Amino acid sequence: MCFGLANHALAEDGYDLWLRYQPLESAARARYAPRIAALVAPGESATIRAAVDELDRGYRGMFGQPLARRQVVQDGAVLVARAGAPLLAGLELPFAKLGNGGYLIRSATLHGKRVTIIAGNTDQGALYGVFRFLKLIQTGQPIDALDIADAPKLQVRVLNHWDNLNGHVERGYAGLSIWDWQKLPRFNDPRYTDYARANAAIGINGTVLTNVNANADILRPDYLEKVKALAAVFRPYGIRVYLTARFSAPIELGGLKTADPLDPQVRAWWKSKIDEIYTVIPDFGGLLVKANSEGQPGPADYHRTHAEGANMLADALAPHHGIVMWRAFVYAAENAEDRHKQAYTEFQPLDGKFRDNVLVQVKNGAIDFQPREPFHPLFGAMPHTPLMMEFQITKEYLGFATHLAYLGTMWEEALSADTHRPGSVAKVLETQVEPGAVTGMAGVANIGNDRNWSGSQFDQANWYAFGRFAWDPEAKADAVARDWARMTWGNDPAVVGPVLRMMMGSREAVVDYMTPLGLGHQMATGHHYGPGPWIADLKRPEWNPVYYARAAPDGIGFDRTRTGSDALSQYAPEVAKAWGSLDTVPDSLLLWFHHVPWDYRMKSGRTLWDALVIHYDTGVDHVRAMQADWAGLRGKVDAQRWAEVRDFLAIQLDEAIWWRDASIAYFQSIAKRPLPAGHKPPAHDLDYYKAITTPYAPGQAG
């Protein structure tokens, strides 16, 4: 018996994510009980069964008993149904606005009984509604007078797993891949179902199972059988599977001499391969491609454009209603152009040249998932081409699994940025380029086989937030964080307050101690773990941190104005003007766009050098503040998860200080200025930091 024990005394390891369904306090139970007295769910589809199972599981967890299932409506019944169900006859419900994935939740009177209706145009919509209803209870919201209607603003809401067939996850910090290819298709780990539940709960409706640095073997018949088994687990939850296509697969698997997208044999090979995939998995979602980027094969190998490459696959997928997600993350080996400009240069002229079922997948910034980047200039610049957002949930550049960094604020910043072409990045994503055109968002997953899925308790928040932003790109990071905090740590305001404070400042703290004031990529080589601002000897200029900071005796920063690379010209004139002027560029992007003297006067009146040092310290201080907040939660959350977070914060503090000290040691060796008063010198000299090597840091490519 565990009655009488407070929740937080029970051991938890984080496995349950946002579906913990902890026992309610008796007052809450009494308050909710009259409104959730029975379940009436007439549908018999696998999706309705999943919805019923989830309600039952949630109810058992929170109320400590099974939820009665009834055929007829009674007082307090929860009705789960699809538009058109006889049960709902006579009720005027606004289904038209809900589209395919939307739902409504309504308190109503039906045949004289007070009921709660959860319904969508599809069973999928009803399932989403059930998760929302459960969330209301989990987060302590009233359910007496509900009138909720919600629908996703983007159609394709996918995770991208950078998982290799050997189980290694590129940029993965949560253990190995959860896909156990060796045991599939015979053994379906129950974890796959929990994965589907967790994703459906946040509206994710697709998953790309394999790494964009692709292996053609995933397209072999034996692997397709394994994919089929996963697809069967995910199907009831409305999650489609997608795969990555290695562009040279016709050579590797098909024995052809070429992978030229205009070659008839190549086209025939892809057509037959794609037909085969659909025979095995009739609702297969489509293909994701990284081409001619970082050594991956692609159409440029045959002097063809990205559009020609993408369209070949699109033509083969179209009869099956499949899509191609074609990545715009390209920068060429022999191209001396500012890396910031290269994707735009290559893709923008192709606007309108892609088939209707192609989405061009664009990273949020023009370089590469840095702690802070301005939005990618392609957003708004390809009005005739569906663009989808690619965010990186896994924290390759933000401290791996041990640094607490809530990315919701970063994504809100990117999505709410005004492209002036017109509208925000969010609006660009949401607006169909023509009626019926597809829209979407992808997130590079942070999921692995660690018990807590994401490598840390707080990294779960980033998976959660990705789902919420994919559903609604205009979501607010603080509201999302609040929901997550309540479902993950409980509704006690004395817990939620500090957790929110920690989360909301956390990403800026990482920016401050790693790459303040608009610096880009200062990470060590290859694994990107730890600082390497001095690195200057890598083959390609843009692989070197010195390429981004350009620290020199005369100052620091990358001039991307007209006097420099002119990357600003790729933005709308209003944006170029604001960011191009030292008077109006925000401090946060100063060094991204300008090279300024060390003694440059910031708006604060401080010199740039002093401001830089202060930012590093501000970042470190936030980590200390998070530690203090967390210390105050001892005993207020379960001991196991509490201790893990405490220890990870200690690692984060060590590493934040490492970042701060190494960066200051390096930049001071060039700036040759004293530290501002009250700011301590680095603990060691520059050579000490340069000598640190961590060859076995996790998540490396290859």
Determine, following the binding rule CB under 6 A, whether residue 373 of this chain makes contact with ligand GCW.
Answer: no
Alpha helices in 332-458 (DSSP H): 339-347, 408-416, 425-430
396 among known catalytic residues = yes
- At closest approach, how far in Å is the CB of 217 from ligand GCW? 17
| Catalytic annotation present for 294 | yes
Q: Which is nearer to ligand GCW, 331 or 406 (CB)?
A: 331
Q: Considering the rule CB under 6 A, would residue 310 count as an interface residue with ligand GCW?
A: no
Strand ranges across the sheet with 147-150: 38-40, 77-82, 113-120, 103-110, 147-150
In this structure, what token pair is assigned to residue 323? 């899509």
Among 16, 163, 170, 483, binds ligand GCW (CB under 6 A): 170
CB of 327 or CB of 641, closer to ligand GCW? 327
Which of 7/700 has CB closer to ligand GCW? 700
Phi and psi at 241, nearest 5°, equal: -100, 145
Among 132, 157, 273, 290, binds ligand GCW (CB under 6 A): 290
**Does 171 engage in binding with ligand GCW (CB under 6 A)?**
yes
Residue 368 binds to ligand GCW (criterion: CB under 6 A): yes
Please state the closest distance from residue 702 (CB atom) to ligand GCW, in A.
9
Least gap, CB of 482 to ligand GCW (angstroms): 30
**ω into 516 cis (within 30 of 0):** no
Identify residues 437-466 at the interface with ligand GCW (CB under 6 A).
Answer: none
Other Cβ atoms within 10 Å of 526 Cβ, number: 15
Asked if 521 interacts with ligand GCW (CB under 6 A), we say no
Q: Specify the residue, 368 or 542, whose C-beta has the smaller distance to ligand GCW.
A: 368
Residue 290, judged by CB atoms within 10 A of its CB (0-12, 13-18, 19+), counts as buried
Cα 535 off chain centre by = 29
Q: Which residues ranging from 606 to 665 are in contact with ligand GCW (CB under 6 A)?
A: none
Maximum Cα interatomic distance, the chain, rounded to a whole number of Å:
81
**Coil, strand or helix: which one is 269?**
helix
User: DSSP label at 299?
Assistant: G
Q: Give the phi and the psi of residue 678 in degrees, each rounded to 5.
A: 85, 0
Shortest CB 168 distance to ligand GCW, Å: 12
Q: What is the DSSP letter of 515?
A: S
Sign of the Cα torsion 303, 307, 308, 312 reads positive
Report the distance separating Cα 80 and Cα 158, nearest Å. Answer: 26
Is 153 or 171 the residue whose CB approaches ligand GCW more closely?
Answer: 171
What count of residues does the chain have? 702
Interaction between residue 181 and ligand GCW (CB under 6 A): no
Q: What distance in Å separates the CA atoms of residue 426 and residue 474, rounded to the nearest whole number?
A: 6
In this structure, what token pair is assigned to residue 595? 């090279």
Position among 329, 347, 609, 689 found at the interface with ligand GCW (CB under 6 A): 329
Neighbours of 344 (CB within 10 A): 22
From 181, 234, 242, 369, residue interacting with ligand GCW (rule: CB under 6 A): 369
Smallest distance from ligand GCW to CB 535, Å: 15
Q: Residue 103 or 329: which CB sits closer to ligand GCW?
A: 329
22, 193, 213, 449: which one contacts ligand GCW (CB under 6 A)? 213
Is residue 106 involved in binding ligand GCW (CB under 6 A)?
no
Which 3 state secondary structure label does DSSP give 650? helix
Residue type, position 78, single letter: V
Residues 381-410 that bind ligand GCW (CB under 6 A): 396
Q: Shortest gap between Cβ of 170 and ligand GCW (angstroms)?
A: 5
From residue 18, alpha-carbon distances to 66, 85, 402, 608, 609 in Å are: 20, 30, 20, 43, 43
212 binds ligand GCW (CB under 6 A): yes
- The smaller minimum CB distance to ligand GCW, of residues 363 and 482, is found at 363
Site for ligand GCW contains 192 (CB under 6 A): no
Q: Does 701 bind ligand GCW (CB under 6 A)?
A: yes
Residue 340 three-state SS: helix
Q: What are 37's two structure tokens?
A: 């007295």
Nearer to ligand GCW, 79 or 444 (CB): 444
Do 196 and 204 meet the contact criterion of CB atoms below 8 Å apart? no
Q: Does 270 bind ligand GCW (CB under 6 A)?
A: no
Q: Which residue in the block uniquely carries the two structure tokens 């190549």?
A: 266
Q: How near is the Cβ of 342 to ligand GCW at its closest, in Å?
A: 14
Backbone angles phi, psi at 476, to 5 degrees: -110, 130
Paired tokens of 255: 């024995």
Least spacing, CB of residue 509 vs ligand GCW, in Å: 21
Q: Minimal distance in Å, beta carbon 298 to ligand GCW?
A: 12
Work out the number of other CB atoms within 10 angstroms of the CB of residue 251.
17
- Distance in Å, CB of 206 to ligand GCW, minimum: 18
Nearest CB to ligand GCW, comparing residues 230 and 330: 330
Q: What is the Cα–Cα distance from 121 to 182, expressed in whole angstroms?
A: 39
Q: Nearer Cβ to ligand GCW, position 157 or 290? A: 290
d(CA 417, CA 328): 20
Known active-site residue 418: no
Nearest distance in Å: CB 696, ligand GCW: 17
689 binds ligand GCW (CB under 6 A): no
Total number of residues that touch ligand GCW (CB under 6 A)? 12
Q: Pick one of 63, 95, 131, 162: the residue that binds ligand GCW (CB under 6 A).
A: 162
Beta strand 38-40 with 77-82 is: parallel
Please give the Cα distance from 271 to 674 (Å, whole number).
Answer: 65
Whose Cβ is closer to ligand GCW: residue 417's or residue 442's?
442
Q: Give me the catalytic one of 170, 338, 346, 368.
A: 368
| Pairwise CA distance, residues 167 & 163, whole Å | 7
Residue 244 contacts residue 288 (beta carbons within 8 Å): yes
Counting DSSP H helices and E strands in the chain, the numbers are: 20, 13
Annotated active-site residue in 54, 396, 542, 638: 396
- Identity (one letter) of the amino acid at 695? P
Q: Which of 13, 222, 276, 294 is catalytic?
A: 294
- Residue numbers of the site for ligand GCW (CB under 6 A)? 162, 170-171, 212-213, 290, 294, 329, 368-369, 396, 701
Write out the catalytic residue numbers.
294, 368, 396
